[in-house]
Amino acid sequence: MKIKLRYFYFLLLTLIVACSSDDVGIDEEKPTISIDYADGFPQGCSELTRGETYSFRAQTTDNLSLASYSIDIHHNFDHHTHDDQVGDCSLEDIKTAVNPLIFIENYTIDEGGTTYEINVSITIPDDVDTGDYHCAYSVTDATGWQSRTSIDIKIIE
């Protein structure tokens, strides 16, 4: 029986060795995305005025190569979600959307690179519903890892 056990350990050992030898060269790191710097916009609980134009800015990084990002602004009149920023904003009463702002855009970072500042100019239309909104950024790297961040904002008159 001892002989057989020895064979097994040998097999197990070769297996482990075989498996641990080629673990190089794959990207296991997610990109990062943050508005937590002086120019980052919008900050949590920001109030955006209808008719005004704002520069939406967020800093992204990756260990290898950034690929795409997206910005999604949608209403939170039903309080369906909350942001991941420090501190809670006071939400207005729940209401029904009539003509909410829907901003859905994807962008590619053609130059790749390991750092990139998102800077998109968005004008808040004059006729959209005011109230609680949610701004979500997301970024992917060339491998397919993704990071997201979201911010509670308000659109006011």
Partner 1 sequence: MSHKILSIWLIFGLCSTVLAQNSFQIKGVVKHANDLTPAVGATIVGENLYTFSSDTGAFTINNLSKAKYTFTISHIGCEPKTISVAVGPNMKELNVYLSEDATVLEEVKVNAKTSEREVMETPIVTQTVSKEFLDQNRENTLMQTLSKVAGVSTINIGSGQSKPVIRGLGFNRVAVVQNGIKHEAQQWGNDHGLEIDQHGIENIQIIKGPASLLYGSDAIAGVVDIQPNKIPQPNSFAGEVNIIGESNNDLLGVSAGVTTRKDKWFYRGRLTYRDYGDYKVPTDQINYENYVFELHENNLRNTAGNEADASLGIGFISDGIKTETVFSNVNAKNGFFANAHGLEVRSSSIDYDSSNRDIDLPYHKVNHFKITNNTAIKIGDHNLQIDLGYQNNNREEHSEPVPHGYMPTPSNTKERSFIKNTYSLNFRDAFKPTDQHDIVVGLNTEYQNNNIGGWGFLIPEYNRFTVGVFAYDQFEVNSNFHVLAGFRYDVGSVATKAYFDWYQSTVNNDDGSTSYIYLQRSQDKTLNFGSLSTSLGLSYIKNKTSYKVNIGRSFRMPLANELASDGVNYHMYRYEQGNIDLDPEISYQLDLAVDHTKKSFSIGVSPFINIFQNYIYLNPTSNYYETIQIYEYTQAKVFRIGGEFNTSTTILKKFQIDASVEYVYSRQTSGAKEGFTLPFSPPLSSLLSAKYQFNKLLFFNNPQFIADYRITAAQEEIVPPEEKTDGYQVLNMSFLTEIDVFTNNLPLEMRIKLNNVFDTKYFNHTSFYRLIDVPEAGRNISLSITIPFKK
- The dihedral region occupied by 87, where left means phi > 0, alpha psi between -120 and 50, and beta the remainder, is left
Q: For residue 138, what is the enclosing H or E element?
A: strand 131-141
1 binds partner 1 per the rule CB under 8 A: yes
Q: For residue 35, what is the enclosing H or E element?
A: none
Taking the complex as a whole, the smallest distance from the CB of residue 101 to partner 1 amounts, in Å, to 12
82 binds partner 1 per the rule CB under 8 A: yes
Contacts for 39 with CB less than 8 Å, ≥ 6 apart:
57, 117
Taking the complex as a whole, the smallest distance from the CB of residue 117 to partner 1 amounts, in Å, to 18
Measured distance between the N- and C-terminal CA atoms of the chain, rounded to whole angstroms: 84
Taking the complex as a whole, the smallest distance from the CB of residue 43 to partner 1 amounts, in Å, to 15
Residues contributing to the site for partner 1 (CB under 8 A)? 1, 4-5, 8, 11-12, 15, 18-19, 22, 25-26, 28, 30, 67-72, 74-75, 78-82, 84-85, 94, 97, 100, 102, 104-106, 108, 136, 138, 140-146, 148-149
